[in-house]
A and B are shown apart, each in its own frame.
Chain A
Amino acid sequence: MRSRLSIYYTYGIIALWAIACFVFFQGFYSYHLFYKEQTQLFLFSIDYLNTYFSKPAWLACLGGDFLTQFFYYKFAGAAILTIVLLLLGDFTRRSFECCMCGRFSFVIALVVMTVEAIFHFRADFRLSSAVALIGSMGLFLLYCMILKEWIKWGVAVLFVILGYWMFGYGCFAFVLLVVLHDIVQPKGWIKLALFVLAVGFPLSMRAHYLLTWQASLSYPGIGKFQKPNFTLEKILALDNEYYFGNYDKVLKIVHQSDKSLPEVSYFYNLVQARRGLLPDSLLNISQQPQGLFMKLGPNASMIDLYIGGEVFNLCGDMTFNEHSAMLANVFSFQNRNARMIKRLAEVNLVNNDTAAALKYLRILQKTFVYRKWSAIRMPRSQTPAVKDMLQQKRQYINRLDTLRNAGNYRLVLAGLLRSNPQNIAALDYLLCDDLLRKDISSFKKDYDAFYLLRSKRLYQEALLIYLAGMKAKPEDCAKYHISSGLLKEFNEYTAIYVQAKGNRWALRDKFGHTYWYYFHFINKR
C-alpha cells in the first residue's frame, strides 16, 4: 500500500513538474524559445548534415537542432523542451537506479531536470546539451546490460570514445555513472584509466575538431545559472509581435514595459511610423537621445543586430536592410539565422535580383518550416499577395546612388526621400531623428527639402524653436502655416520659462508633451 502510494506521489510530482515547466516556458518564456528557433537554420540536406561531423557531439547537436526547428510552432517549443527534460529525468533516474542509488535516483533526476531547465533561461543555450546527457545515459544503460566483466571494461572504453564523438561532454556523465555503478568493485585503476581517457581523448581530438581545450571538454556547451531574463523576454515579445504584424499587441506590450529601454521605444516608433503617426506620438514615451536607430556593427549586442534592420525594412532602404540582415546572420549560431535568410531573400526579390533571391529561397526550400514560405516566393510561383507586397516595397527603394558609411542614417533617409518623396515613414524617421538629437538646424534643412504639407504639431513646435532662434518675423511663421493658437502657446511657454528661470516643474503639467519641453529638459546632454 505504502509503495503504491509512493508511486502515485512520484507520478504526481513528475506531472506537477512537467506542468510547471510547460506553463513557465509557454506562458512566460515562449519568445525566448522562438528566438532560439529563429537564430538557427536546420536544413534537410546531406551537405548540411555532414557539417555536424566537423565537431564532437554530432548526434547531440543534430538531435537538438532538429528539435529546435519545431520551436517555430505555437506551444511546440515549450512542449518539446518539457518532453526532452522529462526524458532526461527518466534516463537520470534509471541510470542512478543502476548505480544502486535507487533511494535518491528520483531526487537526483528532479535536480538534473531542474538545473537543465534553468540553463534554458539563457537565450543562446542549445537543446543539444540536454540531448548530450540523455545520449550518454543511454550508453550507460546499455553498458549496464553487459554481464561479463572483461567485455564490460572494453565496452566502457569504446563508449567513452563513442560517447565523446556522439555526445561530447556527455562522455563525462557516462564515466561518472560507470564509476558509481562499479564503486564496490576493487579495480580502482580501471576507473582511473576511464577518467584519464574521458579527459585525454577530447584533448587529443582538439586539433582535429579545432577547439580550445575548454571547448573540447565542454562541447556542445554546459549551461550557466542565471535568473530568467524577463526584460529580454519583453524585447523578444515586441520583436515577435511586430514581425507577425500584431501592432496593437506591440503597443500593449510597450505600455507594460520599462520604457527607458531603447528596444521598447524602437518598436513603439516602428509601429507608429507604420501608421503614419510617428510625429504625433514621438514624445508620448521615453526616447533615446541618440535618435531612432539601433547602433549596428561588430560591437552591437546580438539582440540589437537581430532587430536593427526592421527600420530599414520599413523605410525601404534595401542596402542597409540587407547589410543588417547579413550582420545578424553572421553573429547567429553557426552563422545561420532563419529570419535573416528570409529577409535576405525578400530584399533581393524587391531589388529584382532573382539570382540572389534564388540563393536564399533554395536554402529555405530545404527546411521543414519555411518550405512553403519559399515556394510561394519562387519567381515563377509567386502568389498575387506576394507580388503585391513586393510591388509595394519596390515603390520605396532608393534609386539614386550615393555612398554612405554605416552610421550615416540621415543620408540613407534623404536618399530614399529623393527617390520617392511620398515615403512618409522615411520622412518621419528623418525629421524625428533630427528632433530627438536636438539638431534643429538639420531638422530645418530636411523639413525645407522634403516636407510635404502635412499638419504635424511636433514639426511646427520644432520650427518655432528654429524661428525664435533666428529671430524670425511673423510672416516667416505664416510661411510654415503655423497657427496663431500654436504661436500663442509658444509665447506662453516662453514667458513661463523665463519667469520660472527655466524651472521644468513650472512647465511640466501644461507643456510636458511638447517638443519645447523635450528640447529644454529631456535627454539633456
Chain B
Amino acid sequence: MKARFYYILVWMIAIFAACTPQPKDVNKVSALPPMYPDYPDITIPYNIAPLNFLLRNDADAIEVVAQCGESVLQVNKRGHEICFPIAAWKKFMNEAKGKTADVKVSARINGRWVQYRTFEWQIAADKIDPYLSYRLIEPDYEVWNHLQLIERCVENFEEHVICDHNLVDNSCMNCHVYGNQDPKLSLFYVRGKNGGTILNRNGKLRKLDIKNSQMISAGVYVGFHPSGRYGVFSSNIIIPAFHAVDSKRLEVYDTKSDIFVADFDRNTIYSCPQLSDSTVLETFPTFSPDGKYIYFCTARRANLPKEIKKLKYSLCRISFNAANHSFGTKVDTIYNARLKGHSVCHPKVSPDGKWLVYTVADYGTFPIWHREADLQMMNLKTGAIDRLATVNSNRSDTYHSWSSNSRWLVFASKRDDGLYGKPYFCYIDRAGKAHKPFVLPQKYPAFYDDNLKSFNIPELSKGKLPFNAVDIERLMKKENEKFK
C-alpha cells in the first residue's frame, strides 16, 4: 500500500516537473527584463518578504535563478508572474545575508526563450524593522470613504487592520505614527462625532482631546518625545484647492498654524511665542532622538492662494527641556528657504542622530502632488546635503520614516503612475550612502496594478501593535480625556 503511494507520488512529481517549462535554445539579450515592480539592481534587507514580480510583456513562462555563491534560488512558472515560495526565499536570503546575488530572468515569448541581462540584489545584513503602518486612502485626499489604517509585516505578507471604517462609523482617520519605532508608543486621530486622538502608550489605549482655548485646531502633524511622555503637535487651518493644470492636481495650504507640546502624564499643553507666532506659519514638528530639540518648518504668512508660489518653508529647530517642559529662546535655521529657493516639509532625524531627512518642493506645504518634490538628507554634523539622486524620481517622493537602526528609510513615492503613493524602502549604508529603493513587495505581483488606494504616511516599527480595530471600536465609545 505504502509502496503504491510513493509510486504514485513520484509519478505525480515527474508529471508536474515535466509540465513546468524549462528554458531551451535561449536567446540572450542585453536588456534588463521588463519587470514590475522595478527590482533590478537594488539593495534589500535579508528579512524582506519575497520580491514577487511580473513581466510587462507577452511571456507565458518564466524562469528566475538567483545565485549567491553556493546558494541558489530557482523558480519556474507558467504565465508572466513570479511568486517565490516563502520558505525557499527565507532560506536563500539568510544564506546570502551581507552578500550580492546575481539574478537571471528568462522568459518564453511566442514560443521562444529569451534570457535578459543578469542583475544584482545586494542583500544587506542590516535588518529592516519588520512592521509598517500606513493609511489606505484614494489619492484625492479631500474626501474619504471606507478608510483603513493597516499594519503590514514586511517579512511576509501578513497584514492586520489597526482602525477600520466599518467600526468607527466611516469617520476620517489620520495617520498613525510611532515613537522610537516602538509598537507600544503610537498615536493616530479619528475625526468626527466621537473622535479623538488615540494614544497607545505602553500598550494602554487612551482617547484624548488635545485642544485648549489657545489652539486654532486639534493636532495635525505630530512627533513623539523619546521619553514617550510628550508629543509635539502642529495645529493648522488647512485649505484644499485645485490646480488648473494637469500635473499638480491638489494643493493644500495653511492659513494659520502653530506648534505646541502635549504632556500625556499631566494632560497639559505647553507652547512658546517662537512656536505660535501669528505672523508666521509653523508646522511639521518632530523631536530630535535625544529629545533636546524640536525640529519644525516655518514660513512667513503670505496672501494665499494668490501668493502660493512665494510660500516657502524653512527648516528650524528650538531647544526643549523635558525636565521642566521649557523651550529655548533661540530658533536655529537649519535650511533657509529664502536662500535655497525651496520649501521644506516632513523633517525627521535618524534614530542615531546623524542624519536629517526632509522633503523639498518648489513651494508650499503639501508636496504630495508636486512632481519636483524630492527627499534630501542632511549630515547633522557637517551640514552637508545629499540630494539623494539614486533615491528620488521624477514624481513626488515625500513623507518618510526611519527604521530603528537608522539603516533603512521608508517613504511614499508616486513614481510608478504619478497618482498612487506606494511605500518604497531605501538603504542608507554606514557611510551614509543611499541605495536604489524598492517598493513594498506584495503577495500578488499585480497588486499595485489593481489597487486604487494610496499608501499614506508609511511608518516603520520594531514590532506588532498591541491592539486591533475592535479595540479602537470599543475605545470610541468612551469619553475623551480633556487637556488644559
Taking Cβ atoms with an 8 Å cutoff, the residues of A that contact B are 43, 45-48, 50, 206-207, 210-212, 215, 297-298, 317-320, 322-323, 326-327, 329-331, 335-336, 351, 353, 355-356, 358-359, 362-363, 366, 397-406, 412, 415
Contact = CB atoms under 8 A, between A and B. Distances in A.
Contact of B245 (A206, A356, A401, A412): A401
B331 interface: no
A403 B246 contact: no
A359 B420 contact: yes
Nearest to A300: B143
B419 interface: yes
Contact of B246 (A48, A326, A329, A397): A397
Nearest to B451: A47
Contact of A404 (B167, B241, B446, B468): B241
B120 interface: no
Contacts of B470: 206-207, 210
B242 interface: yes
Interface centre among A211, A319, A363 (most CB of B within 10 A): A319
B138 interface: yes
Interface in B348-398: none
B242 A48 contact: no
Given A43-B450, A358-B417, A362-B449, A415 B142 contact: no
B244 A405 contact: no
Nearest to A327: B143
10 contacts: A319-B249, A320-B242, A322-B249, A323-B242, A335-B452, A335-B453, A355-B416, A359-B419, A363-B450, A398-B245
Contacts of A331: 143, 145
A398 B249 CA distance: 12
B482 interface: no
Nearest to A398: B244
Interface in B223-264: 239-249, 251
Contacts of B240: 405-406
B166 A319 contact: no
A207 B473 CA distance: 10
Contacts of A359: 416-417, 419-420, 449
Contacts of A329: 138, 452
B144 A356 contact: no
B241 A403 contact: yes
Contact of B244 (A207, A298, A319): A319
Given A210-B161, A366-B450, 6 more contacts: A207-B470, A318-B246, A323-B249, A326-B140, A330-B140, A401-B245
B143 A297 contact: yes
B244 A406 contact: no
Interface string B445-477: 011011011000000000000001110000000
Contacts of A405: 239-242
Nearest to B447: A47
A358 B242 CA distance: 23
A326 B444 CA distance: 25
A159 to B, nearest CB: 27
A290 to B, nearest CB: 20
A412 B138 CA distance: 23
A207 B468 contact: yes
Interface in B241-292: 241-249, 251
Contacts of B246: 318-319, 351, 353, 397
B420 A404 contact: no
A212 B417 contact: no
Contacts of A406: 142, 240, 242
Nearest to B306: A403
B130 interface: no
Contacts of B452: 329, 335-336, 363
Contact of B140 (A45, A323, A400): A323
Interface residues of B, number: 41
Task: Across the A-B interface, give the 4 residue pairs with the lowest CB-CB distance, nearest first.
Answer: A47-B444, A351-B246, A403-B305, A359-B417
A43 B444 CA distance: 14
A487 to B, nearest CB: 39
A330 B144 contact: yes
A327 B141 CA distance: 10
Interface string B296-333: 00000000010010000000000000000000000000
Contacts of B484: none
Nearest to B239: A405
B63 interface: no
A402 B243 CA distance: 6
Contact of A403 (B161, B308, B453): B308
A355 B418 contact: yes
A399 B245 CA distance: 6
Contact of B417 (A47, A356, A415): A356
B478 interface: no
B157 to A, nearest CB: 11
B446 A47 contact: yes
B209 interface: no
A358 B416 CA distance: 10
A319 B450 contact: no
Contacts of B161: 210
A47 B244 contact: no
Contacts of B432: none
A211 to B, nearest CB: 6
B146 interface: yes
A298 B145 CA distance: 9
A366 B444 CA distance: 15
B438 to A, nearest CB: 18
